[in-house]
């Protein structure tokens, strides 16, 4: 079985209140010089080797269901490659 990972992140121009809250907590804990943006990770298990068609299908799933493409961008990759 293979693992396909879809990482979804807010577009750079979109405000990220969760990331800002994390950055505030980091500063209070004494960690300086970090920038944080919070996103989502989806893991899709595929039986056997991942074909280009299956990878395209996962990308279509990400585009229509996993990400709000108005405010988010996503990447699709096979884990371990």
* pLDDT, tens digit (0-9, with 9 covering 90-100), for 6-40: 999 999 999 999 999 999 999 999 999 999 999 99
Look at the domain 2-78 and name its fold. Answer: Mth169; Chain: A , (3.30.1280)
Tokens of 69: 């493409």
Q: pLDDT at position 81, please?
A: 60
- Give the helix/strand (H/E) hosting 10: strand 2-10
Q: Domain segments of the chain: what residues?
A: 2-78
Phi, psi of 33 (to 5 degrees): 85, 20
Whether pTM exceeds 0.85: yes
- Give the helix/strand (H/E) hosting 77: strand 72-78
């Amino acid at each position: 079985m293979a693992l396909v990972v879809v990482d979804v992140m807010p577009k750079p121009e979109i405000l990220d209140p969760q990331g800002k809250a994390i950055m505030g907590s980091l500063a209070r804990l004494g960690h300086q010089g970090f920038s944080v943006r919070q996103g989502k990770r989806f893991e899709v298990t595929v039986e056997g080797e991942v074909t280009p068609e299956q990878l395209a299908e996962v990308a279509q799933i990400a585009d229509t269901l996993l990400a709000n493409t108005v405010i988010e961008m996503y990447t699709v990759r096979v884990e371990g490659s």
